[in-house]
Each structure stands twice: as structure tokens, then as C-alpha cells.
Structure 1
Amino acid sequence: MKILSIDTSNYVLGIGLLDDNVVMGEYISNLKKNHSVRVMPAIQSLMEECSVAPGDLTKIVVAKGPGSYTGVRIGVTIAKTLAWTLNIPIAGVSSLEVLAASAGRYFDGFISPLFDARRGQIYTGLYQFKDGSIRKVIEDQLVMASDWALRLNEMQADVLFAGNDLGIHQQAITEALGARAKFTGPTGNNPRPGELAVLGSQREAEPVHEFVPNYIRLAEAEAKWIEAQNKK
């Protein structure tokens, strides 16, 4: 069973190939560059390097958000196109869950992955590993970083925070949780496409034409358009 995983939901571009329980290869970059022109060459390069032909693939797994509206849309669109063209299943995994699994597999406590959402807000959720499998403790959501930190402080437990946007919100988190706030190093802040493939291998396939991303909130332009329509 060969699985191709795709993550363009944030600045990190991740492509992975999983063959049963073996991660054959991963491509990861963390650059502020256009995913739309880089993702297909990255897929092609990794598949050629691993000697995997399109017809060998048995499933497509994609990080379905939250994150950058444009980034999520690019990854989901490409994943759906490949799944439909190759007539193979598609499955989606929360972009936050991928980050949590990548950073905290061996952490004995709660894991809070986060992406900056501007104006003091973050996309986040709470996860924990139990018996080797990751489980969701609190649903993914859009929340003020300060409010989230205060909520976690009430749990009186160690929390590992992960993500490339930690620097923006680390002060508010530390002020609320003190020593119970733990932070990943640089290598723990990038979601791993191999981890995405592993998580996706265990998910039920979704009908390709019904598969939708999870933005959590509307893009700003779309929200303004709806607001304007409601005022008419």
C-alpha cells in the first residue's frame, strides 16, 4: 500500500511517501514561496527518487486545514485531482493534528499545536498520545492566544506547544502557564509529511467530490462579501 501525502496548509510544504509501515521519503521546506508552482515538481521529484509511479499509489492523504486559506485550498485541490485521476481513495487529516503528532509523539502530557491567525488569535486544539495513538482532547478552533493559555492553565498539567509561530505568542503562554508550558525546538515545529501519511493510512476514505477543507473561519474577502450581502 503506497500512500502519497500532501501538506501545503501553511508555509511548510511537505510531501511524503509511505509504503505500508515504511516512510520511503519526505520532502519538507519552510519557505515563504508560492506553493502552487512548487508542489507538483516536489511530488514528481520525490516519486522519481523513490521509484514510485503514479499507478503504484493506492491512496492520497492531505492536510485539510486549518491554516492559510490559499495554502489549504492548493493542497486539497491537488489531492482531489490526483485521487480522481488515479481513481484511488482520498483522506484528510487536521493540519494541527499532523503538527501535534510530529512534535509530541514521545511527550508525556498534552500537546497544543498552533498556527498564528493574526490579531492575537491562533488556530489550535489539544491532543494527547495514549497507547501509541494520538487522540483529540479539545476540538480544533480559532481562539485568542491569551484566552487559550488561561484555559489550559486550569488543567494544571504540562502542555507542549509546537509550531513555527510560537515566537509570536510565547510570552502570553508563559505568563499564564509558567513552568508548565513546554516548547519544542526548531526541529519540532515543522509538521512531518511522513507522519501525515501514517495518520491518513488509518482514516476512512471520503468521496472525492464531497471532500472539503476545514478552514475553521472564512477567508477575509469571503466574510466581507457575505456581510455585504446580508446588509442588502
Structure 2
Amino acid sequence: MIKHDVSHFPTILVFNTTEKDKTSVALIKNGSVKISEKSRRAQELQSIVEELIDNNHIEIGEIKAVAVLEGPGSYTGIRIGATTGNTLHWLYRMPVIVIPGTDISEAAERLMSGEEFDVTTYFSPRD
């Protein structure tokens, strides 16, 4: 994979499903970050994403990229995040940004800073 500066995407959805009993979703829109952290398992990621999108009055089509934290952490959780990111790519042609680590606030800051990340059309936790 080739690393790219992703700060030009106006709206990015970020998933952290690396933790066993907590799932975090961030919405980065025009330099502003909204984070939703729930004491729920990664299997409930879709409902957390829907809630964050609804609460911020945006449509899924406004999101231009999806970012997935790759851990280390719960392998099953990481697979759920990767599958969700891959599905959004498949449905909406959003690039998938792969971010090393487990801290969603730090990931959001890094995304906005101009740091370069791997951008792909398919993310596999085993790669």
C-alpha cells in the first residue's frame, strides 16, 4: 500500500473496534471532531454509526472516507471494523484508511494533521 495525506477529505468516519467491551466512532467534518464511545461490543457498530450520523444531521453520502484502527486488540473486533469499512467502500466507493493504534482521539488528530496513512480499497486484519 502507498501512504497518502488524507487531510483533504472533508468528512471522515473513524471506527475503533479494537477493545473488547467498548466501541468508538468519530466523525471528522471540516476540521471538527465528534466522538461517540459506547460500552458496547463491536457487533453494535452499525447502530453507533447511525446514531452519530443522525445526531450530526449528515447523510452517508457526505462521508468521503472511512478510517479503521487496526489495533493491537480484539481480533474479532478488528475484523468487524474492517468488514464495516470494506462494506462502506463497496457501497459508496469510500477509500479505507488504515490507522495503527487504539486511541480514536489520537487517530482523529493524526488524520487532520496531514500525516500520511495507508489508503486501500480492501482492508484485511491479517495483512
The TM-score, its normalising length taken from structure 2, stands at 0.79
One of 72, 86, 94 as aligned partner of 1:88? 94
**Separation of aligned partners in 2, 1:205 and 1:83:** 15
In the alignment, what sits opposite 1:12? 22
In the alignment, what sits opposite 1:21? 31
In the alignment, what sits opposite 2:45? 39
Aligned with 2:119: secondary structure? coil
Any conservation in 1 of the 2:12–2:29 contact (CA below 8 Å)? yes
In the alignment, what sits opposite 1:64? 70
One of 7, 11, 29 as aligned partner of 1:2? 11
Any conservation in 2 of the 1:62–1:196 contact (CA below 8 Å)? no
**Separation of aligned partners in 2, 1:82 and 1:28:** 20
Q: Using a 3 Å threshold, how does the CA distance of structure 1 residues 81 and 197 change in structure 2: closer, same or farther?
A: farther
1:212 aligns with 2:110: no
**Separation of aligned partners in 1, 2:97 and 2:116:** 6
Question: 5+ residue gaps in structure 1?
Answer: 97-190, 216-232
Q: Percent same amino acid at aligned positions?
A: 23
Aligned with 1:88: secondary structure? coil
Q: Using a 3 Å threshold, how does the CA distance of structure 1 residues 205 and 88 change in structure 2: closer, same or farther?
A: farther
1:197 positional shift:
2.9
Any conservation in 2 of the 1:5–1:62 contact (CA below 8 Å)? yes
Supply the RMSD in Å over aligned alpha carbons: 2.0
The TM-score, its normalising length taken from structure 1, stands at 0.45
Deviations 1:152-203 (A, max 9, x none): xxxxxxxxxxxxxxxxxxxxxxxxxxxxxxxxxxxxxxx3x34323323543
In the alignment, what sits opposite 2:106? 195
1:54 aligns with 2:54: no
Which structure has more relative contact order (CA 8 Å, sep 6+)? It is 2
Q: Using a 3 Å threshold, how does the CA distance of structure 1 residues 49 and 34 change in structure 2: closer, same or farther?
A: same
Q: Using a 3 Å threshold, how does the CA distance of structure 1 residues 214 and 93 change in structure 2: closer, same or farther?
A: farther
Task: Tell me the amino acid that sits aligned with residue 35 of structure 1.
Answer: A
Aligned with 2:49: secondary structure? helix
1:214 positional shift:
5.6
5 Å-filtered alignment, 1:136-215, equals: 191=103, 193-201=104-112, 202-209=115-122, 211-213=123-125
Task: Tell me the amino acid that sits aligned with residue 40 of structure 1.
Answer: Q
Number of aligned pairs?
115
**Separation of aligned partners in 1, 2:92 and 2:63:** 8
Any conservation in 1 of the 2:16–2:25 contact (CA below 8 Å)? yes
Higher helix residue share: 1
Question: 5+ residue gaps in structure 2?
Answer: 1-9
